[in-house]
Chains A and B, each alone.
Chain A
Amino acid sequence: MSSLATSTEAADEASRSADLRLTTLTKRFGDFVAVDRLDLTIPAGSFFALLGPSGCGKTTTLRMVAGLEVPTEGEVRLGDDDITWAKPYRRPVNTVFQNYALFPHLTIYENVAFGLRRRGRKDVSAPVQEMLGLVQLEGFESRKPTQLSGGQQQRVALARALINHPQVLLLDEPLGALDLKLRRQMQMELKRIQVEVGVTFVHVTHDQEEAMTMADTIAVMNGGHIEQMGSPGELYENPRTTFVANFLGQSNLVTGRVTGRDGEDLVVDAQGAEVRVPVSRANEVDGDVWLGVRPEKVVLTPAGDRPDRNSLGRAEIVDVSFVGVSTQYMLRMPWQQDLMAFEQNTGARAVMHRGDVVEVGFAGAHAFLLDHAQDARAGVDQDLTA
């Protein structure tokens, strides 16, 4: 009965909920611009991630949506309603706070019931039980938050927010305090719950894996603005900036120059090697470019085998890391740049050794071209320090 109630209620919510629209949203703290004229539309019912290093403005954006921060400029709209100036307790928006912010003096039951009680609902028992069921915490009603593990607290925080059937649920680094294994498990769990309740989730994180696993759409933020927005696949396969290329996964960026066009391909001179990249994958179509190839897209063939694809020439393997599912090679290119290559351990070929010489190639459809004016190291390792 309860699951039926959940699904019908969820359907009602989904039909009522509306797109979240941010227009030229800006937040300045003194001279520091935390969020810089942000325009963003988050479709109703989506699982949206704001991804970026610490200090990129993602949390400030979230807090402006929650009403915990007042924008310096711009608008926050939910469907047709302008909620830019609405008090947090008057918005149909709830938040799962970083480190959860559970009320330590209240039981789990009262924590979950808090929002309903504040809105004057008397019969909270059924919805509370339903929510505790949704997050699989039946039987924990009378405990206090400190008696729960990190993962359980995180579920309580989720139940406490979702019980209010918000139009938008905001999650501020929700899994940051959990260990790796639990984080993986909660990623699946959050995704399941989002699909089940159909509420728009806006998820702020600095963890690219977390964003890619859960979100339908990711907006990569850097320095108060959005670098690129799209599905995890789009962002990964065709990053438009060096920041995105480096922040989401790793990229080999090689200096090149567009020398001409051959049908649907651009001809690029990459450190003396002539390679072809489809025009559709070029964010820069002439002049100096960064030629980007993801490490797992790099194809290694024994020296002497002329590859029938784009070749970057011969390289010496200078480092080998065997990580089980794959082997990671560091390749010293003739122009002294080190590139990374990941090769699946399919068993088709023995693991190569340091000092071996290989031909380095890639398929043009797997490469991308970026404006050379950008810093090739933008976004490197930033998720580690965040």
Chain B
Amino acid sequence: MTAGAVAPPAAVPRRRRATVWLLLLPGGLWLTAFFLVPLVQLVATSLYDPSGSEELGYAMTWSWSNYTDAIDFYAEPLVRGFGYAAVATLLCLVIGYPLAYAIAFKAGRWKNLMLVLVIAPFFTSFLIRTLAWKLILSDNGFVVGVFKTLGLVADDGRLLATGFAVVAGLTYNFLPFMVLPLYASLEKIDHRLIEAAGDLYASPVQGFRRVTLPLSMPGVIAGTLLTFIPATGDFINAQLLGDTTTTMIGNVIQSRFEVGDYPAAAALSVTLMVLIVIMVSVYIRKAGTEDLL
């Protein structure tokens, strides 16, 4: 027995609480300085006088009209941003789920190699990979050629600078963010549960629907959020692969910031954030009760 073991019991909880605060301190300070303060600043900026500029300075005038004006004016890219992100997320799920399933259950000794291949694109910059898609979808590229042969693209049509290209880019870029959480949740499923479903008269399809899919829902939720949220605010794909008719809300925010229209950019950012928070909360609530199935 050491002296430390007979310390008064009352001291233990206090010390434990101190440890908790100490553990939270670095992260808390970081988030306060680089997230909370800028967030407050962003909300404040969204209420500045819209006639301000970098030369003249900005005045806080509580201009709530910044919001109504921005939403009025940029409704189309806002809706398009959500639409593209939703389609890309769905495509990621459709492509990513079978892939994650195969890696988790069927890959055997190739499992690790396949996971590395999923992550491999990260060894190249996001920007460069998106630029590469410009080549892939270019007017004289083989993809367009194949699409033309199949009659999916008109003879004088193109893929680049269309919504298709933007969604394809988004899907490509965010696929790993869908596959990895899906893999993690599928891999965790006890294989005996699937055997038990089969033993209890569930055909493979029923077993998937009643056991595997519900048990992989945490991965589906994590994957869709990790894809949908950043895709909604993305502007690189629309900028490099789209044209003026495929502008997403991210592009608008970026361009507003560039021209010094900080109040409008901030108002759009806050709007985007609030909408995402609302959609995500509804989604998680539904998914938690398995209403999505």
Contacts and interface: CB of A to CB of B under 8 A. Distances in A.
A115 interface: yes
Interface string A240-262: 00000000000000000000000
Contacts of B200: 89, 94, 114-115, 118, 160-161, 164
A371 to B, nearest CB: 41
A95 B196 contact: yes
A118 B209 CA distance: 11
Given A105-B214, A118-B201, A99 B192 contact: yes
A53 to B, nearest CB: 22
A68 interface: yes
Contact of A105 (B201, B203, B215): B215
Given A101-B190, A101-B192, A101-B193, A88 B211 contact: no
Given A97-B196, A101-B192, A101-B195, A89 B215 contact: no
Contacts of B193: 101, 103-104
A66 interface: yes
Nearest to A163: B200
Contacts of B202: 89, 114, 118
A87 interface: yes
A68 B193 CA distance: 12
B155 interface: no
Contact of B198 (A88, A160, A161, A164): A88
Interface string B174-206: 000000000000000010110111111111001
A174 to B, nearest CB: 13
A181 interface: no
Nearest to A88: B198
Interface residues of A, number: 24
B106 interface: no
Nearest to A166: B199
A122 interface: no
A97 B206 contact: no
Contacts of A89: 198-203
Contact of A88 (B190, B199, B206, B214): B199
B215 to A, nearest CB: 6
A16 interface: no
B195 A68 contact: yes
A106 to B, nearest CB: 8
Nearest to B211: A103
Pick the most buried of B198, B210, B215: most chain A CB atoms within 10 A of its CB: B198
Nearest to B201: A118
B214 A101 contact: no
Nearest to B217: A105
A336 B196 CA distance: 54
Contact of B195 (A88, A160, A161, A164): A88
Contacts of A97: 192, 195-196, 199
A97 B193 CA distance: 9
Nearest to A170: B199
Contacts of A68: 195, 198-199
A349 interface: no
A105 B185 CA distance: 14
A122 B93 CA distance: 32
Interface in A75-130: 87-89, 93-95, 97-99, 101-105, 114-115, 118-119
Contact of A66 (B197, B199, B201, B215): B199
Contacts of A118: 197, 200-203, 206, 210
Contacts of A99: 192
Nearest to B202: A118
A101 B197 CA distance: 9
Contact of B201 (A102, A103, A115): A115
A198 to B, nearest CB: 21
A89 B198 CA distance: 5
Interface string A133-146: 00000000000000
Nearest to A105: B214
Contacts of B197: 103, 114, 118
A102 B211 CA distance: 11
Nearest to A94: B199
Contacts of B195: 68, 88, 97, 101
Pick the most buried of A102, A104, A164: most chain B CB atoms within 10 A of its CB: A104
B128 to A, nearest CB: 42
A95 B198 CA distance: 10
B214 A95 contact: no
Interface in B213-227: 214-215
Contacts of B211: 103, 105
A102 B198 CA distance: 13
Contacts of A115: 200-201
B212 to A, nearest CB: 11
Interface of A: 66-68, 87-89, 93-95, 97-99, 101-105, 114-115, 118-119, 160-161, 164
Given A105-B215, A115-B200, 18 more contacts: A66-B199, A67-B199, A87-B198, A87-B203, A88-B195, A88-B198, A94-B199, A97-B196, A97-B199, A98-B192, A99-B192, A101-B195, A101-B196, A103-B210, A104-B193, A114-B197, A114-B200, A114-B210
16 contacts: A66-B199, A67-B199, A89-B199, A89-B203, A97-B196, A101-B192, A101-B196, A102-B196, A105-B214, A114-B200, A114-B210, A115-B200, A115-B201, A118-B197, A160-B200, A161-B200
Q: Which 10 A-B pairs have the closest CB atoms?
A: A115-B200, A118-B201, A101-B196, A101-B192, A88-B198, A118-B202, A95-B199, A105-B214, A89-B201, A114-B200
